[in-house]
C-alpha cells in the first residue's frame, strides 16, 4: 500500500462518456476518500482514503489460488466459506492477479496529475463536439485538495471545461482555491436541519451551508443536488426548506432531485460492509415529481428530477 502523497491522487474510477455530471459528454474522475458516511451512499468504495481489496463472492469458484498467493494470510477458505481478514491486507494486488474468476479487485489507484490529464484528453473530440468536459467526483474530491487544484489547473491549461461534484464539507479556503480553475459547481445538500444531517451523514451541515452561501456569491454557475432518501428528506417540508434556501442564489442554474436507488448492494458486499439501506425502496417517479413541484412552489426557477 502506498501512503498519501499530495502530488498524486487516489482514484477509484475514470468514467468516460458520462452524461449526468454536467453539460455534454464528460469524463468523470472519482476520487477516493470522504468525510461523510451517508448510510445510503451509492459509492462506498470511495469512503476510505487508501487502496483496498474488493471481493465479489458470487464469482468465486473456491480454487484457493488467492490463499496461496497472499503473503499476509488475508484469504481464509474453510467449510466452503471464503473469509477475508481485511485488517491484514496491504492492497498489494497479488491475489487479484492470480484470480482468473475475476472475483477480486483492488479499488484505488494512484495517478500523477499529468498522467491523468493525458487520459482525460483522449476524449477531447467528444467534449468539443458536445460541449462537455471533465468532472471531479467521489467520494469527496476535496479530501484531496492539492491534487484537485493541480489537475484542474492542467485541465484549464489544456482548454477543457471543468466541473466538480462536492458535498462541500470542507474549509472555505480549500474550496476557494479551486474556483479559478472551475467552470461549474455541483453541490450536494442533503438536509437543512443540522441534527437530521448529522444523523443521516455522520457530520454537521455547518460547513455545507456556509460554503454554499459563499459560492452563491462566486462568479460561477451552480447546481444544487439533493439525493432523495426515504426517511431522511423525502417530505415536502424537507425539500421546501432546501428549495427556499437555494432559491436565493442568483448563480443557481437549477436544483436537482436525485432518487435513492438500491444498485450499490454488491459494492457493500465486496467491501465486507453492512448495507443499512438494503431494505429501502427507491422513491416512485410520481413522488419525485411532487417533491419537484414543491421546490418550484418554494421559489426555485428550474427544478429537475435526475
Ligand atoms: S482466486 Fe478467486 S476464485 Fe479462487 S478462491 Fe480466490 S477469489 Fe475465489
Ligand atoms: S491485495 Fe495483497 S495483501 Fe491484500 S489480500 Fe490480496 S494478496 Fe493479500
Distance 266 CA to ligand 2 centre (A): 20
Mind listing the pLDDT tens digit for each residue in 129-176? 999 999 999 999 999 999 999 999 999 999 999 999 999 999 999 999
The mean per-residue pLDDT over the stretch 235-262 comes to 96
Question: Which residues form ligand 2's pocket by a CB distance below 6 Å?
Answer: 53, 69-70, 72, 74-75, 89-95, 106
Average pLDDT, the chain: 95
Atom of ligand 1 nearest to the CA of 55: 7
| pLDDT at residue number 196 | 96
In angstroms, what CA-CA distances link 189 with 20, 119, 182?
Answer: 17, 31, 19
* Ligand closest in space to the Cα of 60: 1
Q: Is there a common fold for 9-49+111-305 and 52-107?
A: no
| pLDDT at residue number 3 | 42
Answer whether residue 105 shows pLDDT above 50: yes
| Atom 6 of ligand 2: nearest residue by CA position | 95
The mean per-residue pLDDT over the stretch 84-106 comes to 97
The mean per-residue pLDDT over the stretch 54-79 comes to 96
Among 51-55, 79-83, 243-247, the minimum mean pLDDT is found in 79-83
* Ligand closest in space to the Cα of 53: 2
Sequence spans of domains, the chain: 9-49+111-305, 52-107
Confidence of residue 246 (pLDDT cuts 50, 70, 90): very high
Percent of the chain with pLDDT over 90: 94
The β-bridge relationship of strands 252-259 and 303-305 is parallel
Distance 72 CA to ligand 2 centre (A): 7
Mind listing the pLDDT tens digit for each residue in 187-235? 999 999 999 999 999 999 999 999 999 999 999 999 999 999 999 999 9
| pLDDT at residue number 6 | 58
| Atom 4 of ligand 2: nearest residue by CA position | 89
| pLDDT at residue number 75 | 97
Mind listing the pLDDT tens digit for each residue in 1-19? 344 445 899 999 999 999 9
Q: Report d(CA 303, CA 224) in Å as an integer.
A: 10
Our answer on whether the CB atom of 61 is closer than 6 Å to any ligand 1 atom is yes
| pLDDT at residue number 4 | 47
| pLDDT at residue number 7 | 83
Q: What angle do CA 211, 230, 202 make, to 5 degrees?
A: 45
Q: What is the pTM of this model?
A: 0.93
Class of domain 52-107: alpha beta
Closest CA to 169 of 199, 202, 120: 202
DSSP letters spanning the chain: -PPP-TTSEEEEEEEEEE-SSSSSSEEEEEE---S---TT-S-GGGSSSS-EEEE-GGG-----HHHHH-TT--EEEETTEEEE-GGG-----HHHHH-TT--EEEE-EEE-HHHHHHHHHTTHHHHHHHT-EEEEESS-GGGSHHHHHHHHHHHHHTT--EEEEE---S-HHHHHTTGGG-SEEEEE---SSHHHHHHHHSS-SHHHHHHHHHHTTSSS-EEEEEEE-TTTT-SHHHHHHHHHHHTT-TTEEEEEEEE--STTHHHHHHHT---TTTTPPPPPHHHHHHHHHHHHHTT-S-EEE-
CATH classification of 9-49+111-305 is 3.20.20.70, yes or no?
Answer: yes
Atom of ligand 2 nearest to the CA of 92: 2
Amino acid at each position: 500500500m502506498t501512503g498519501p502523497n499530495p502530488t498524486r491522487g487516489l482514484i477509484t474510477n475514470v468514467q468516460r462518456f458520462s452524461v449526468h455530471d454536467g453539460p455534454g459528454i464528460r469524463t468523470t474522475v472519482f476520487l477516493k476518500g470522504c468525510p461523510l458516511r451517508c448510510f445510503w451512499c451509492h459509492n462506498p468504495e470511495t469512503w476510505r482514503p487508501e487502496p483496498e481489496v474488493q471481493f465479489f463472492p458470487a464469482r468465486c469458484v473456491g480454487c484457493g489460488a488467492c490463499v496461496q498467493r497472499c503473503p499476509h494470510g488475508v484469504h481464509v477458505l474453510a467449510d466452503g466459506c471464503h473469509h477475508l481478514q481485511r485488517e491484514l491486507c496491504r492492497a498489494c494486488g497479488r491475489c487479484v492477479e492470480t484470480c482468473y474468476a475475476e472475483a477480486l479487485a483492488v479499488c484505488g489507484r494512484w495517478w500523477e496529475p499529468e498522467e491523468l490529464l493525458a487520459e482525460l484528453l483522449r476524449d477531447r473530440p467528444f467534449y468539443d463536439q458536445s460541449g462537455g468536459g471533465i468532472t471531479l467526483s467521489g467520494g469527496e474530491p476535496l479530501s484531496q485538495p492539492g491534487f484537485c487544484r493541480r489537475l484542474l489547473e492542467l485541465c484549464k491549461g489544456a482548454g477543457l471545461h471543468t466541473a466538480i461534484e462536492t458535498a462541500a464539507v470542507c474549509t472555505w479556503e480549500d474550496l476557494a482555491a479551486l474556483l479559478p480553475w472551475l467552470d461549474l459547481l455541483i453541490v450536494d445538500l442533503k438536509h437543512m436541519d443540522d441534527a437530521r444531517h448529522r444523523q443521516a451523514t455522520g457530520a454537521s451541515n455547518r460547513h455545507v451551508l456556509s460554503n454554499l452561501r459563499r459560492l452563491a456569491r462566486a462568479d460561477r454557475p451552480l447546481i444544487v443536488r439533493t439525493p432523495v432518501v426515504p426517511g431522511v428528506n423525502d417530505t415536502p417540508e424537507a425539500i421546501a426548506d432546501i428549495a427556499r434556501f437555494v432559491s436565493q442564489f442568483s448563480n443557481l442554474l437549477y436544483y436537482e432531485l436525485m432518487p435513492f436507488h438500491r444498485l450499490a448492494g454488491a459494492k457493500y458486499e465486496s467491501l465486507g460492509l453492512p448495507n443499512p439501506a438494503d431494505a429501502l425502496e427507491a422513491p416512485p417517479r410520481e413522488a419525485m415529481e411532487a417533491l419537484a413541484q414543491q421546490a418550484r412552489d418554494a421559489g426555485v426557477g428550474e427544478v429537475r428530477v435526475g
